[in-house]
Amino acid sequence: MKLFLQALITALLLVSSLGCSCFPVSFEKSYCDSSTSFRATVLAETDNCVGKCHPIDDQMEGAITYILKVSEVFRGTMPEDEVAYMRTPVNSGLCGITLGVGTEYVFNLPYIAMSAPFQCPSEYFSIGLCDSIEEWESLADGAKQFIADNVNNGQKLCGPGPPLPSPLVIEMPETTPTVTMTPQALLTA
């Protein structure tokens, strides 16, 4: 029995150590370190699970996607049609985050949107608990003033900002050449 309890306690400690943990960062630092910063309202929530996402069963492949209406961009560029897509894991242990539909947030993200050309949506942000995402209504007046001062001064309070990542280039191995046949060649073949 004693061995069983030791094994159980060890397993619980191991599981808790694998959870999501983040270092606290001030709003100003997260804003200045961001490549993309904007204010947006969550319009809808959807997921890629069959039925409703289960936090345990779907944790490895399940994802929640939030559809946002962007009202103001502070850093970076305005998304196409002023709509942004946020994708997050279904489980907070894997740093998944829950956003409220109808709630307005400020997103300070240290990266640009990810591209998935053959998926819908074709561009999205991957977000989690460690990202700087604050409810606009709860944001301190000093933080709102910092944003306004920084935007009005041409981003001089933060400096030029972090460099944007270069596009990912994937080298494809050479493939065997394909033969293209015209309809006439097919008829005579």
Q: Determine the 3-state secondary structure of 96 from DSSP.
A: coil
Cα dihedral value 116, 118, 120, 121, nearest 10: 30
Q: Is 130 annotated as a binding residue?
A: no
Residue 66 phi, psi (nearest 5): -105, 135
Cross-strand pairs, 126? 87
Longest dimension (CA), the chain: 82
Q: Using an 8 Å Cβ cutoff, are 125 and 87 in contact?
A: yes
The annotated binding site for Zn(2+) is made up of 20
The annotated binding site is made up of 20
